[in-house]
Amino acid sequence: MHDAVEEMTYAQALNRALVEEMERDERVVVLGEDIATHGGVFAVTRGLVDRFSERRVRDTPISEQAIVGAALGAALTGMRPVAELQYLDFATVAMDQIVQQVAKIRYMTAGQVKVPLVIRSQGGGGKGNAAQHSQSLEAWFVHVPGLYVVQPSTPADARGLLVTAIREDNPVMFLEHKLLYGTRGPVPVAPTAIPLGVADVKRPGSDVTVVATSRMVLFSLEAAEELAKEGIDVEVIDPRSLVPLDMDTIVASVKRTGRALVVHEAVRRGGVGAEIAAGITERAFDYLDVPVGRIGALACPIPYARNLEDAVLPQVADIVSAVRELVR
């Protein structure tokens, strides 16, 4: 029975993780805008208030500062809150709380207090939501010591990593993608925790290593299938967590393939792809046949018009083209 799986969506997998952890530990509480009565803007918290009452599932005012501040206070006083920010773009409003308080308090108290706080939010484009609702800002949080940063790409990873994040005694930025919520995949029936800092090889290959995050994992897998028709065997690696980052798995792959491409939806300039590319160069330089490639969004606010949005964000065709260049 431990190997049994169930097909479900990414949103349902997140919901399953919340239910399991709230049943397991009464200290787990959930708070955010419209997460109780309406079940969240993306239906991730649907049904929780009926199951656990308004005492543990709290609708909040439209104030990201208040949400993060209240969640931090709850974490410092013994609760294990999961705070939802509807759009990662609006984490900007709470950056003082996240960067100056959440990330630093455990260190500044010499470990006298723990901060078991999960901040769930979603980012990314591809839905025509324009410049203020479509950003991928994970690099901001990766840059701040004291925060863990997680980006699951599949329903199974979403469920397993959220379980781990909720049990973690340090703050976790748990970053989802709006266009992954409806994607489906197998999820273990038995409660399963996936450790942070362990990458997953989504597709083994021998010619090129593609390291992709979030929705770009799906794009990279699609590109790999197209390239396979040309005889190019692509290995696709999903780091799953950016902090901690499993460079060992990535470097081992690059040492076998001799070529690497890093793909993320965030703006290429200053993105986490640069950090991963630097790590590959530092640890596997002598194994590289060509320089490490990088794909990211253009340095432009995300357009509202869908054709322009597609032009700014990485597409499957961009990954295919970049891999062809690497193996040429």
- Residue 64: active-site member: yes
Regarding whether 18 and 167 lie in a shared domain, the answer is: yes
Regarding whether 157 and 12 lie in a shared domain, the answer is: yes
Residue 195 domain flag: no
215: domain range? 200-327
20, 33, 64, 235: the catalytic one is: 64
Regarding whether 142 and 52 lie in a shared domain, the answer is: yes
Regarding whether 248 and 139 lie in a shared domain, the answer is: no
- Residue 138: active-site member: no
Residue 15 domain flag: yes
Segment 204-223, tens digit of pLDDT? 999 999 999 999 999 999 99
Pair 181, 9: CB distance under 8 Å:
yes
Residue 193 domain flag: no
20, 21, 133, 177: the catalytic one is: 133
Give me the number of domains the chain comprises: 2
* Residue 228 CB neighbour total at 10 angstroms: 14
| pLDDT of residue 39 exceeding 80 | yes
pLDDT value, residue 2:
59
Segment 239-268 mean pLDDT: 98
Task: Indicate the Cα dihedral angle 182, 185, 186, 191, nearest 10°.
Answer: -40
Nearest to 60 by CA among 50, 49, 52, 47: 49
Regarding whether 243 and 165 lie in a shared domain, the answer is: no
pLDDT value, residue 191:
87
Segment 78-105 mean pLDDT: 97
Regarding whether 90 and 26 lie in a shared domain, the answer is: yes
Q: Determine the Cα–Cα distance for residues 141 and 8; give it in Å rounded to an integer.
A: 29
Integer angstrom CA distances of residue 324 from 56, 106, 143, 232, 234: 52, 47, 32, 8, 11
Residue 156 domain flag: yes
Regarding whether 223 and 146 lie in a shared domain, the answer is: no
Segment 185-209, tens digit of pLDDT? 999 999 899 999 999 999 999 999 9
What pTM value is reported for the model? 0.96
CATH of the domain at 49: 3.40.50.970
Longest dimension (CA), the chain: 60
Regarding whether 155 and 23 lie in a shared domain, the answer is: yes
Regarding whether 204 and 183 lie in a shared domain, the answer is: no
